[in-house]
Every structure is written in C-alpha cells, then in structure tokens.
Chain A
Amino acid sequence: MEADTVVHNSIVRQPGPGMSARAMHDINVIGSLQLLSACGQAPTIRAIVIRGSAGIYGAEPHAPQFFGEEMTRLFPLRTRFQRDVAEIENYFETYSRRHPDITCTMLRYQPAIGPSLATQITRYLSQPACPTYLGFDPRIQLVHEDDALDSLVAAIRRPVRGAVNVAARGTIGLARMIRMAHRPLLPIAGPLFGPIVGAGRRVGLDSYSDDFRRLLRYGRGVDIGRLEGELGHRPRYSTVEAVRQWAAA
C-alpha cells in the first residue's frame, strides 16, 4: 500500500525536563526540514499536514482579539519557539510553492486541554496554586482534545492549502478558568513573576516557557472561520465547555 498523506505531529511545544532550547530547535526545525525532504522523494504523496502552533502569533497587549491566518506579521517574533515555528512555516510555504501537486496544510493549534492530555495548560491548572500577573486577566482560548483530533482528521480528509487556525469557539478569562479548575489564584506583580516562577522551577515545580508567560499576561485568540468553513469542522466544545469538562473529569 502506498502512502498519499503525511502528518507531522511531533513539534515540541515546551522543552521537557533535561531538554535544552537547542535540542528543541533541532527537533522542531531540522526535524521538519528532513521530513519535508523525505516527502520529496516519495512520489505518491499528495498531501502533507503539519500540526503547528498558534504560538506563532505571540501574545501581545495590542493584538487584535482574534488573529486571522494572514496576520502572522503584525508583531515581531519575540520568543525562540515563535522563531522556530515561523522558520518551519517558511520552509513549508516554500516547499508548497515548489510542489504545486502536493497540498500543504499548516494547522495552527491553540493550547489543547482534555482529560487524557498532559500539556502545559493542564499542568498549570493542576498546581496547588496558579500564579497570575497581578492586575491582568487575559482572554485565553483553548481547544478541546476531541476537537484537536477531529480537526486533524478533517484536514486529512479534505486537505486545503495554507494555514488554518484550530481552536474552540470563544474565549475565557484566565481568572475564571483557574476558578473553574478549583485552584486558588496567586497574583504576582509583573517584575517579580519571572524570579518567583524561576525559584519554583528550582524546587521542582513546572517551568514556564517565555511563550507561556506572555500568554498568561496578554492572552491570545484566533479566528476559526477557515476551520469551520473550509475544513468543515465545527468545534463541539467552546473554550468554557472544554475547561468545564476537564475540571469535572
């Protein structure tokens, strides 16, 4: 049997324990490059789907509330992960232009949440207390694990060219999300946030990437018109429902 679709599902979103930023860069960028060049040698491939990240948009105080797919260049790329994702997207775009017979789909995922997942956001909400930036209540948008999977399936069944945002409908305030997870808020003044969560990491608590810190401060939403219209997947869970379901599980 010959393969006609390749799904790249192993972009690392957060360095695990003992993984350096360099190693993460190697896996994400160099790994994707090698995968793409391998695809070039397989003549039966008709579609490539990459599970990328909405982290490419960053988290910005002055951002539009909902990023459309064309808005990747509104703000500078501030974190290492953002630059890595942008690099992968650039290669992928070039690759797509050079191979017009292959449909290249870049799925930009918001952070996923669900009872069977261990992601940065679920680890964050499972801590004894959730650190937040004092005085900030950003709008957070997630995607439920079922919708995350179904979107991937939809992209395989009906490949479309270019980037597609994947997220749940609507947003939720960070404080409300933490309350729904039955955790106390731990507001920390902006300048002290880095040192305090850094100290937490040294005593064995979860570490926070720069991207995640910016998300906790400014939040991020994406527009899912393309997901619903072109991929034809209407998310079953809103962000609030996804959090509620996770908290109940």
Chain B
Amino acid sequence: MSEPGALAFMRRLREGLDSGLELPEALGRGAVALPGEARDTLEHVLRRLEGDNEDDEWGFDEDFADLVEPFFGFLYDRWWRVKVEGAHRVPAHGRVLLVSNHAGILPWDATMISVALLREHPLPRHPRFLVLNWAFDLPWISAFIRKVGGVVASPYNALRLLEQDHLVAVFPEGVKGTGKPFAERYRLQRFGRGGFVEIALRAGAPIVPVAVVGSEEIYPKLGDLPAVARALGAPFFPVTPTFPWLGPLGAVPLPSKWRIEFCEPIATAHYGPDAASDRGLVLELTDQVRETVQQAVYANLVRRGAAFV
C-alpha cells in the first residue's frame, strides 16, 4: 500500500462518511482506492464482521486478529519503520506480564508491541491487553478491541489471563501517560500503586519491562479541551496540530520512527503468592520496573536519533 494510496483511501472514506453512509459501507467504498491486496483484506474483514467465527471466552478471535494484521503490519513496516530489540527475551511459554510505557492518545503502541512479537519472536503468540475502561462504552471500538485481544483493565481480568498462561500486556501509566502534553514526552508518569506487580506476584509470572520510543510523536498534544471531554465522557479531549482541525483525518498518526526494546525478564515466582500483600516489596519492584523502562526509553531515544527521518 503506497502512501498516496493510503491518502486516497482516507479521502474516500471521509467522503463516504460525510454523505451519510454507515462506517462499514463507507470503508467499503473507500477500499476502491486501495491496491488489490489491501482491498481483498478489507473486504474479508468486513465480511467477517458479520460472518460466523470462533472465539474464546474473552471474545478474542485469532482469525480476526490475523486478518487485520496486514493493516498494522503496514504501519509497522512503512509508516513507523519499527526497530525491535530483545524480542527473544520474552518467554515463549506460560504466563508473562509485559509492562510498557504508554503514550499517544490512541493505543497504537499496544498494537505495535503485538506486531513486534508476532514478527520477531521465535515462537510468536498473540498478547492480550488491558485496555482503558472507557473504550468499552464506545460502539464498534469496544467490539473491535475485544476481537483483537483487549480486555477491560481490571486486576481480576489480568489475574485470570495470567492463570490461563497468557501473555498479558499492561500500561501502568494509564491515562496519565496518554494524556500528557508534548513537552513532557518520554518522562514516565507514576506507575499507579503497583497493582500490576501484585498481580504478577500472585500469579508467579515474570515481568518483562518494555520500552517504546516513537509513540510520543504521533499525536503531539498541545492542549486539552476539558469541557468537550466532559461532554463526551472521555478522560481528555486532545488538541494536536491536526486534531480536531482536520476532523477524522486528524486521527491519522504522524509517521515518527519507532524503537521497541524488550528488557530482561524480572522473575517473581520465587517470592511466592503471599508476597503480593508485602507493600514494601511491591513498591520496590514497581520502582525497579519503572526505572528499567525509563532507562531503556532514554537509551533508545539516543539510538533512534531524529524523530521523523
């Protein structure tokens, strides 16, 4: 998919939406502008949105996730030119908790971590994500997120997924990370109260710190419109150089250059599940993970060089 193709697609999608079509139909119209392969994929996806499918108790639909992969693959290869380090450090089997920094308003970083693991890991598997709660109150988005492996950010969900030996990704900065202004980029926010460490301890899952560089530049957040956010029930309403000025086009992320580093796993099984109630240990591990991610972010920032070229 060439970049002019992508632009033509977005333009036609916009026209379709403006003329009052439903989103799926508008996507179908827009697809005419795409090259054959991408068009096939998109049509396949639209068919499957209505067709029968197999999924697990969480609503994760592996076929669906594989079908939308080419779209994220395009972003991964061409748009953000992602470089990955240390994917082999993620254990290939059993329960694992990935802990990453979080930025960029929409959860693109989660999707890129997923593609990175599927592409670079010797034994790839689909990670599951804990997704910000308010997304599950939104039409389409809630259904889509579930199909690709997202679950409500609840400690009960994280624990159950780990007990089922899944690969689980969490973003402890939460909305503090996605909603911070551009000037504070790459400075990690507080990692909650360490709830993710408690869960890892209780499940005996190793923690793999993940540093993502590049996600901070995709939507440089210049300001915030709290009144609009309140009206929409959203945690914040960002103002970026393109949003909301260009309408839906403003949601197209800028093509920054990305690096993702998976750090050495931190074992937790030897502490035993009772250690989850040891506040001192939990805070200590939380700080250790946060510090690891922060250092890896700085190191990769230097290695990446210029943000966009």
As a 0/1 sequence over residues 134 to 152 of chain B, the CB contacts with chain A under 8 angstroms (1 = contact) are 1011111111001000011
A221 contacts the other chain (CB 8 A): yes
Q: Select one of B57, B140, B142 contacting A65, CB under 8 A.
A: B57
List the A side residues contacting B142 at CB < 8 Å: 61, 135-137
Chain B nearest CB: distance from A159 CB in Å?
Answer: 27
Chain B nearest CB: distance from A174 CB in Å?
Answer: 10
A139 contacts the other chain (CB 8 A): yes
Q: A139-B146, A170-B57, A173-B55 are in contact. Are A65 and B139 (CB under 8 A)?
A: no
Contact B143 A137 (CB under 8 A): yes
B279 contacts the other chain (CB 8 A): no
CA distance A173 to B49 in the complex (A): 12
CA distance A249 to B16 in the complex (A): 43
**What is the number of contacts between chain A and chain B, taking CB atoms within 8 Å?**
69
A92 contacts the other chain (CB 8 A): no
| Interface majority SS (helix, strand, loop, mixed), chain A | loop
Contact A176 B53 (CB under 8 A): yes
Number of residues from B at the complex interface, CB < 8 A: 25
The stretch of B28-36, B112-120, B154-162 in contact with A is: B154-162
A131 contacts the other chain (CB 8 A): no
Contact B136 A61 (CB under 8 A): yes
As a 0/1 sequence over residues 128 to 140 of chain A, the CB contacts with chain B under 8 angstroms (1 = contact) are 0000011111010
A89-139 CB contacts (< 8 Å) to partner B: 133-137, 139
Q: A171-B57, A176-B53 are in contact. Are A61 and B133 (CB under 8 A)?
A: yes
**Size band of the A side of the interface?**
20 to 34
Q: Select one of A136, A171, A190 contacting B143, CB under 8 A.
A: A136
B41-84 CB contacts (< 8 Å) to partner A: 50, 52-53, 55-59
CA distance A64 to B57 in the complex (A): 12
CA distance A65 to B133 in the complex (A): 12
List the B side residues contacting A64 at CB < 8 Å: 152, 154, 156-157, 160
List the A side residues contacting B152 at CB < 8 Å: 61-65
Contact B133 A66 (CB under 8 A): no
Contact A221 B57 (CB under 8 A): yes
Contact B58 A65 (CB under 8 A): yes
Contact A66 B59 (CB under 8 A): no
A68 contacts the other chain (CB 8 A): yes
A201 contacts the other chain (CB 8 A): no
CA distance A169 to B157 in the complex (A): 16
Chain A nearest CB: distance from B279 CB in Å?
Answer: 22
CA distance A154 to B151 in the complex (A): 33
List the A side residues contacting B55 at CB < 8 Å: 173, 176
Contact B160 A65 (CB under 8 A): yes
Q: Select one of B52, B143, B146 contacting A135, CB under 8 A.
A: B143
Closest-by-CB residue of B relative to A223 is B160
Q: Which residues of B contact A (CB under 8 A)?
A: 50, 52-53, 55-59, 133-134, 136-143, 146, 151-152, 154, 156-157, 160
Q: Which residues of A contact B (CB under 8 A)?
A: 61-66, 68, 71, 133-137, 139, 169-171, 173, 175-176, 179, 190, 218, 221, 223
Q: Lowest 6 CB-CB distances: which A-B pairs, in order?
A: A135-B139, A64-B156, A137-B143, A64-B154, A62-B133, A135-B140
